[in-house]
Amino acid sequence: MSILVIQVVMTYAGGVILRTHGLLFNEWLLILSLAFLIIPLNLLRKVIRRSLVDKR
């Protein structure tokens, strides 16, 4: 949770030093959607890998 807070703060407060600017609400939704999509895709990858390894 602290990583999320730090990332949001750095996005808005980073400014000139980090070359960042605030994101719009729909941009945050896209980022969060893609981030959460990693979890089921990674689980699917593990299931496929285990099924292939077990067949050997």
**Which DSSP string do the residues of 8-39 spell out, in sequence order?**
HHHHHH-HHHHT--PPPHHHHHHHHHHHHHHH
In angstroms and rounded to an integer, the radius of gyration of the C-alpha atoms of the chain is 18
pLDDT at 11: 85
pLDDT at 33: 94
* CA–centroid distance for 31 within its chain: 7
User: Tell me, what DSSP letter sits at residue 56?
Assistant: -
Tell me the pLDDT tens digit for each residue of 1-56. Answer: 898 899 888 888 888 788 888 889 999 999 999 999 999 999 999 999 999 887 76
* CA–centroid distance for 16 within its chain: 24
> What amino acid is encoded at 11 in this protein?
T
pLDDT at 56: 62
